[in-house]
């Protein structure tokens, strides 16, 4: 398997523009996670899905952020309008449930977002 | 979820064994101890998980005492490529929502 795929790898945009980040989870995984990482706040969980349904979006910073998972192989994280403080690395991860122990999460390479 | 405490940073010379200890005093009966590794400019990568005693794989060993209130990640004979941030997580079995703390930044020195 190719692992978790994210696009774009780098995004530079201007304040006020809409930004869409994309993620393809590992085939067969039923959980998908979106994280954001900054120097100041570390790695934060924004939202996660189970079987394409959002389970917990308490980490989404504000209404400017939205995430969708229209099918098992694709998810988007959208920021509209973007602000300089949204600059960060955004990671997508997926995992497979059904195990009794903790379920390993597989992370994508991340999207480095810079909002000018 | 159990709170974890680990050193912010550590330095080690190449070839040495590195032990990173994580404290988790309020660990629950159904919690598992999991470690992730994150290289610069990459996403975290799962390296090892355990419940009690000792677990070993090709990357590391995890030592967990009987009371499970702490755990030690052991990296044998580190190389420069082991320079990374190491995160200790304590998570209930099957639980999906996890919190990555600040981790331990390991710097391997030539």
Q: What pLDDT, in 10s, does the model give residues A49-61?
A: 999 999 999 999 8
For the stretch A18-68, pLDDT in tens is: 999 999 999 999 999 999 999 999 999 999 999 999 999 999 988 999 999
Residue B96 has its nearest CB partner, among A4, A95, A100, at A95
Residue A102 has its nearest CB partner, among B34, B41, B99, at B34
Average pLDDT score over residue span A88-105: 84
pLDDT of the residue at A100: 62
A103, pLDDT greater than 80: no
Q: What are the per-10-residue average pLDDT scores of chain B (110 residues)?
A: 90 97 93 94 93 93 96 96 95 82 94
Contact A36, A93 (CB under 8 A): no
Chain A residue numbers with beta carbons less than 8 Å from the beta carbon of B45 are 107
> Any idea what the Cα angle at residue A30 is, between residues A25 and A32, rounded to 5°?
50
Task: Name the 3-class secondary structure at B82.
Answer: helix
pLDDT of the residue at A70: 97
pLDDT of the residue at B93: 79
A104, pLDDT greater than 90: no
Chain B closest-CA separation from residue A25 CA (Å): 14
Shortest CA distance to A35 belongs to which of A76, A102, A90?
Answer: A90
Average pLDDT score over residue span A77-92: 97
A101, pLDDT greater than 70: no
Here the tokens at position A7 are 């696009």
Q: Check CB contact of B98 with chain A, cutoff 8 Å.
A: yes
Task: Name the 3-class secondary structure at B7.
Answer: coil
Shortest CA distance to B47 belongs to which of B31, B32, B33, B34?
Answer: B34
Q: Check CB contact of B32 with chain A, cutoff 8 Å.
A: yes
pLDDT bucket at A102, cuts 50 / 70 / 90: low
């Amino acid at each position: 398997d190719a692992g978790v795929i994210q696009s774009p790898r780098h995004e530079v945009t201007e304040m006020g523009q809409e930004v869409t980040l994309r993620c393809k989870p590992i085939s067969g995984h039923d959980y998908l996670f979106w994280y954001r990482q900054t120097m100041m706040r570390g790695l934060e969980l924004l939202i996660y899905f189970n079987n394409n349904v959002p389970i917990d979006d308490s980490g989404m910073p504000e209404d400017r952020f939205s995430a969708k998972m229209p099918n098992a192989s694709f998810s988007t994280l959208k920021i509209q309008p973007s602000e300089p403080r949204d600059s960060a690395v955004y990671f997508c991860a997926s995992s497979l449930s059904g195990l009794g122990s903790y379920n390993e999460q597989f992370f994508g390479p991340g999207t480095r977002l810079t909002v000018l | 979820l159990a709170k974890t405490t680990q050193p912010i940073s550590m330095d080690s010379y190449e070839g040495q064994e590195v032990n990173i200890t994580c404290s988790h005093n309020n660990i629950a009966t159904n919690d598992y101890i999991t470690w992730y590794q994150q290289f610069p400019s990459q996403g975290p990568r799962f390296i090892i998980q355990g419940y009690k005693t000792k677990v070993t794989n090709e990357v590391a060993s995890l030592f967990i005492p009987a009371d499970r209130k702490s755990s030690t990640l052991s990296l044998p004979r580190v190389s420069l490529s082991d320079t990374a941030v190491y995160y200790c997580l304590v998570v209930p079995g099957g639980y999906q929502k996890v919190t990555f703390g600040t981790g331990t930044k390991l710097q391997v020195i030539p």
